[in-house]
Structure 1
């Protein structure tokens, strides 16, 4: 018999210094994928209010993080995800809306952007409570061992935000503001600004999923 040996945890590693090359190579100037993932979630036939989401990501010292992968996953304008697990059969799936996007922060400005539609409210699977319109956000970067998950809510949905079951578990209450994107109107374009702070006094709320 071979004596049993205790197993040791393997060494962990971060996303490394080449996030863009491996996951969004076109942004780093490499054309290696037949179909590149995109920050554009909409097409000409997508239903809903067109919006742009943009922001910057800051480290614990307040410096711009310029090499961060950002992904979003959201419901369509009717409040339904294009996924089999969404059982809201009374809401229509929009075949012209992908609902998922990937981009990276700009090397020079640190800005990330998404072109999408404003999502509708979703009925939660637990307790069937309505959730305010929101966008799920996931980050990966060097120095981060595990991807960070957070949510983006909309500043012009104050009434719905006040009833949202996820926002209401965030304490102290003031911390909820780190999840609210600010609405701006620029030359007939609706922009929601969502800056993310990885650490520090203004640290964004992240969720352990």
Structure 2
């Protein structure tokens, strides 16, 4: 006996029930000397803030390594160390731990905030260097599936100009993938789900 597919449902209230993350938006401790803050607002097609979205980030560490066994490159200086909030991560013996993953629900005004470190460059599948970037997934009401994008950094102009993924995006839309510096170690990256200046999303 076979059954048909369960009908698709948009993302709903389970976001606040099933997806909390103990370390939340803290990829590193906020007092980390190398910490940066990425902040912004998630808006819908009408430009209204989305108060119940979820922003999830995944990135390489400042040396360009992912804290994951699927990264085939070995980083000889990596040792396991605990994080103050219960994070279990790998980190250089002479530095604070770094997980690489963050998850932040939006506030009533649609805002989010991720505390992390600036990633290093990583190679593409063909070995071509990619500019420092953070992979981002956004879950929100009205979406059947998450949307996936990237955060590049506005103060990495030379690296951005050579990045194979960013270069594949029409020039007029590349700005939607670039976080601009807004203060000391702070960057602004807004996510527009639809409408004018819609953020570029990738099919994966």
Q: How much has 1:89 moved relative to structure 2?
A: 2.8
Q: Which structure exhibits the higher relative contact order, with contacts defined as CA atoms closer than 8 Å and separated by 6 or more residues?
A: 2
Show the 5 A alignment for 1:116-195: 116-124=116-124, 126-170=125-169, 172-185=170-183, 189-195=184-190
Structure whose CA Rg is larger? 1
SS in 1 for 2:144: coil
Q: Deviations over 1:38-84 (max 9, x none)?
A: 111114896x7320010001100111111001110000010110111
Across the aligned residues of Structure 1 and Structure 2, the Cα RMSD in angstroms comes to 2.1
Contact kept in structure 2, 1:68 and 1:140, CA below 8 Å: yes
Cα distance between partner residues in 1 of 2:76 and 2:179: 25
Q: How much has 1:90 moved relative to structure 2?
A: 5.7
Aligned residues: 188
- Of residues 7, 26, 29, the one that matches 1:40 is 26
User: Which blocks of at least 5 consecutive residues in structure 1 are unaligned?
Assistant: 25-34
Contact kept in structure 2, 1:66 and 1:105, CA below 8 Å: yes
User: Which blocks of at least 5 consecutive residues in structure 2 are unaligned?
Assistant: 79-89, 92-96
TM-score by length of 1: 0.83
Aligned to 1:31: none
Q: How much has 1:87 moved relative to structure 2?
A: 2.2
TM-score by length of 2: 0.85
